[in-house]
Structure 1
Amino acid sequence: MNPGRNSARAAIALLLLAAAPLSGAADQVASEHAVKAAIIYKIAKFVTWPTEASEGNQDTLPICLPAADPIGPALESL
């Protein structure tokens, strides 16, 4: 066994492993607001809402936000 050769192999393997996530992840970058909106949307789907709270309309869920909140447009796009 050659210790220099093993070190070179280990270094190459580490470089390949470090570069692997960068190739596909760079294409899909989500903004902070889009991620927060998606979390709100996903959590709301897991809640069992009382029937009297929906007032007969179970297709919409009112979410109140301040007018200047940047999450609003991200929620509307869902």
Structure 2
Amino acid sequence: MEAGHCLTMIIGGFFLGFVAGEIRTRIDTAKEKQRKAELKAEEWQCKADERFDDLLRTQASINGALVKIIELNRHKA
């Protein structure tokens, strides 16, 4: 009975080690996917910020042109 119990414990230990390794691998894979997703989100945010800055510059240019048009119209009137 003791030998059978020892063998069961050894097999159980190997099985638990395998399961723990599999769980660790899945956790590591999930962390890597999360890290990649965070990097992609940061990249998208940077691109969005750049586009927003471009829009602000365009808006400022348009506003400047409108001010000049208004000033020219005032001088004509």
TM-score normalised by L of structure 2:
0.36
Higher relative contact order (CA 8 A, sep 6+): 1
Which protein is richer in helix relative to its size? 2
TM-score normalised by L of structure 1:
0.35
